[in-house]
């Protein structure tokens, strides 16, 4: 996996993890909130049902209240009981609403929907959950009234359903009277509401998932576009560097050819002519002069060869190392100019890679040439720092400087920059008018080691 792919993965992975965590937390909170809302909804429905049952029982008590009052005026109990049974037996509401009556022994007295139960002792009756239905209802009635929830046959369904009943005590007769409402419709309504809520939560999850997917896709597309653009720029820059490198080699070769032709070659031609003249004038005094001139020409040619060789590759760099070569260069500059030259060369004990040594040497050489020709400086400072993974060279002067953001770089600066970038280094130039110039180049030793 490439470095760019790792960076892209590291940028997308936290987004995906954060999005998944936020979505999961949101889903959990949504489920909890929905359950609370459903529980509140169910509670409110049950409260409404309880209120309805109390209202129905109140109406039934109002219907039989005159009969109970007549018992105080002398109405016989048996007539009063029969009239109350008749009235309650006739009171119905809705499809499954009716009233029931039991005495204290658990014997049924009124049951409009199941007349077969009338007269039967149901004190031991239990529903499908094992609950003693009549015993609990009698106990609630004796306590002043209350609600009970149990399973009972629903007339319209012909089967046991969940039922909520409210019972009270009929004064004078000591009967338990009540009515109930089947709450299976509440369970169905709650289940329907829960399905709607779950569907909404799932839809929200899908929407969030789509948004996350689109966001990640856009990030990938943008990263790929940036990567392609950066690659194109890098390729273009590499082509420019290669082209300039070829141009530089051509210029250098042309320069060396001219140096050899105009310098060494002319000296050798002059020396040969002197030797030819000395042969022709041999034995005469002038022959000796021609030989001396030929010797001088040969010495000049040797010096010229040394100079050209030094330009190609400094011999001192190979023999004594980078530090000695740089100090020799700085000493020569201090001797031939009015500059005060300072140096702080902290090179590693072991020698640097050959390609870095020659590049450092050429950068310092080019920088010194620029300072001598253009800077008009009085002080020059050359610093080299080495770390485990990099070596840094800085050349600073206090000359007239220039605005580096507006002035195009000359051939010397371009050569220094390209030499640095060809080795994967970083080249920086800082200059301001009347504030001098700082040239800084950083070379990675780790990358160089990896290449080699």
At residue 88 the predicted structure's pLDDT band, cuts being 50, 70 and 90, is: very high
83 lies in which domain range? Answer: 3-182
The number of C-alpha atoms within 13 Å of 161 and in the hemisphere containing its C-beta is 19
Q: Can you name the residues that pair with 159 across neighbouring β-strands?
A: 154
Residue where one domain finishes, among candidates 182, 206, 230: 182
CA distance 53 to 67: 22
User: What mean pLDDT is predicted for residues 122-144?
Assistant: 92
pLDDT tens, position by position, 242-261: 656 656 665 665 666 566 55
Q: Residue 14 pLDDT > 70, yes or no?
A: yes
Angle subtended at Cα 89 by Cα 83 and Cα 94, rounded to the nearest 5 degrees:
145
Is pLDDT of 121 > 90? Answer: yes
**Inside any domain, residue 199:** no
**Tens digits of per-residue pLDDT, 265-275?**
566 667 666 66
The sign one gets for the Cα dihedral 395, 401, 405, 410 is negative
Domain boundary among 158, 182, 206: 182
Q: Does residue 200 form part of some domain?
A: no
Domain membership of residue 122 (yes or no) is yes
DSSP state string for 276-307:
HHHHHTTTSHHHHHHHHHHHHHHHHHHHHHHH
Query: Per-residue pLDDT for 108 more than 90?
Result: yes
Beta bridge partners of 340: 379
Same domain, residue pair 319 and 176: no
d(CA 307, CA 257): 13
Residue 435 inside a domain? The answer is yes
Report the Cα 409 to chain-centroid distance in Å: 40
CB count within 10 Å of CB 332 equals 12
Look at the block and give the residue holding tokens 């031609």: 269
- Tens of pLDDT, residue by residue over 137-165, are 999 999 999 999 999 888 777 778 888 99
Mean pLDDT check: name the lowest of 87-96, 207-216, 315-324, 347-356.
Answer: 315-324
What's the pLDDT at 4? 63
- For residue 194, give the nearest of 46, 50, 36 by alpha carbon: 36
- For position 343, which CATH number holds? 3.30.565.10
pLDDT of 179 strictly over 90: yes
Tokens standing for residue 283 = 């034995």
Instruction: Give the 3-state secondary structure of residue 445.
Output: helix
Give the residues across from 379 on adjacent strands.
340
Out of 121, 147, 182, pick the residue that ends a domain: 182
Strand ranges, E, within 120-250: 146-154, 159-170, 175-182
| Domains contained in the chain, number | 2
- pLDDT score, position 111: 92
Q: Is residue 153 part of a domain?
A: yes
Query: For tokens 């371009």, what's the residue?
Result: 414
Please state, for a pLDDT cut of 70, what percent of the chain lies above it: 79
pLDDT tens digits, one per residue of 403-443: 766 555 666 777 788 778 877 788 888 888 888 888 888 88
In this predicted structure, what is the pLDDT of residue 283? 62
Dihedrals phi, psi of 60, to nearest 5 degrees? -65, -40
Q: What is the mean pLDDT of the chain?
A: 79
Mean local confidence (pLDDT), 3-18: 71
One domain for residues 319 and 178 = no
User: Is residue 219 included in any domain, yes or no?
Assistant: no
- Alpha-carbon distance of 400 to 374, in angstroms, equals 8
pLDDT at position 34, please?
Answer: 80
For 290-319, write each residue's pLDDT tens digit. Answer: 667 767 777 776 666 666 655 555 666 667
How many CB atoms within 10 Å of residue 339?
A: 20
Read off the CATH number of the domain in which 51 is found.
3.30.450.20
pLDDT of 451 > 60? The answer is no
Residue 324 belongs to a domain: yes
Q: Does 232 score more than 60 pLDDT?
A: yes
> Quick check: is 268 in a domain?
no
Alpha carbons 311 and 361: distance in angstroms, whole number: 11
């Amino acid at each position: 996996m490439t470095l760019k792919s790792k960076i892209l993965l590291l940028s997308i992975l936290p987004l995906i993890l954060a999005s998944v965590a936020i979505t999961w937390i949101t889903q959990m909170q949504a489920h909890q909130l929905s359950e609370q809302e459903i529980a509140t909804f169910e509670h409110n429905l049950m409260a409404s049902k309880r209120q309805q049952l109390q209202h129905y029982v109140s109406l039934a008590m109002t219907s039989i209240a005159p009969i109970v009052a007549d018992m105080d005026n002398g109405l016989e109990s048996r007539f009063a009981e029969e009239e109350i049974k008749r009235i309650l037996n006739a009171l119905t509401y809705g499809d499954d609403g009716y009233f029931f009556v039991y005495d204290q022994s658990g014997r049924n007295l009124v049951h409009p929907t199941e007349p077969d139960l009338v007269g039967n002792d149901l004190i031991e009756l239990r529903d499908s959950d094992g609950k003693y239905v009549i015993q609990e209802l009698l106990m609630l009635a004796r306590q002043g009234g209350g609600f009970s929830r149990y399973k009972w046959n629903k007339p319209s369904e012909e089967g046991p359903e969940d039922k909520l009943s409210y019972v009270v005590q009929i004064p004078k007769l000591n009967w338990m009277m009540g009515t109930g409402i089947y709450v299976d419709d509440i369970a169905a309504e709650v289940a329907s509401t829960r399905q709607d809520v779950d569907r909404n939560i799932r839809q929200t999850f899908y929407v969030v998932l789509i948004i996350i997917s689109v966001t990640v896709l856009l990030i990938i597309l943008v990263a790929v576009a940036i990567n392609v653009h950066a690659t194109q720029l890098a390729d273009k820059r590499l082509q420019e560097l290669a082209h300039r490198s070829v141009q530089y080699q051509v210029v250098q070769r042309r320069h060396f050819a001219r140096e050899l032709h105009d310098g060494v070659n002319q000296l050798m031609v002059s020396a040969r002519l002197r030797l030819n003249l000395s042969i022709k004038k041999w034995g005469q005094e002038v022959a000796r002069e021609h030989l001396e001139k030929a010797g001088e020409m040969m010495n000049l040619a040797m010096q010229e060869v040394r100079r050209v060789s030094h330009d190609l590759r400094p011999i001192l760099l190979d023999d004594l190392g980078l530090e000695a070569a740089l100090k020799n260069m700085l000493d020569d500059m201090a001797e031939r100019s009015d500059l005060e030259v300072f140096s702080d060369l902290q090179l590693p004990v072991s020698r640097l890679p050959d390609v870095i040594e020659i590049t450092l040497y050429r950068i310092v050489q080019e920088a010194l040439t620029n300072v001598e020709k253009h800077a008009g400086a009085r002080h020059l400072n050359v610093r080299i720092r080495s770390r485990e993974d990099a070596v840094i060279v800085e050349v600073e002067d206090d000359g007239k400087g220039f605005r580096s953001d507006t002035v195009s770089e000359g051939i010397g600066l371009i050569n220094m920059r390209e030499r640095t970038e060809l080795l994967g280094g970083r080249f920086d130039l800082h200059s301001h008018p009347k504030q001098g110039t700082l040239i800084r180049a950083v070379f990675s030793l780790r990358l160089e080691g990896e290449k080699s």
